[in-house]
Amino acid sequence: MVVTHFEVTGLTCATCLAELLERVRSLDTVEQAAADLTVGGATRLVLVSENGVDAVAVRSAVESAGFALTVGTTLSAPHVGTAHLLAATIASGRDA
């Protein structure tokens, strides 16, 4: 399992967040997606996939929803520590 962190800017509300998650969850390689909305800053987007995600496809999905993407860090499970709490939570199948 591969977890990839991205930062997305331009989100202003929960509706934006829902649109973002709908777009990235529709990608074939994305098994799970979660995000922590940050209004006025970068929202952390965490994607879980079997073999990694196509960053170009993720960027296209994010931009088609009207937001901007910064590619982040790719990690392999297991995830340890508070810095990876969101990734560990969704990788384990629990609700974030």
Q: Tens digit of pLDDT for each residue in 31-88?
A: 999 998 888 888 999 999 988 888 899 999 999 999 999 866 655 555 444 445 555 5
For the entire predicted model, the pTM comes to 0.74
Q: Under a CB-based contact definition with an 8 Å cutoff, are residues 96 and 89 in contact?
A: yes
Collapsing DSSP to helix, strand or coil, 12 comes out as coil
Average pLDDT in the 10-27 region? 94
**Residue ranges of domains in the chain:** 2-91
2-91 has which CATH code? 3.30.70.100
Sign of CA dihedral 14, 73, 53, 69: positive
Cβ neighbour number for residue 65 with a 10 Å cutoff = 19
Q: Which helix (H) or strand (E) holds 73?
A: strand 68-76
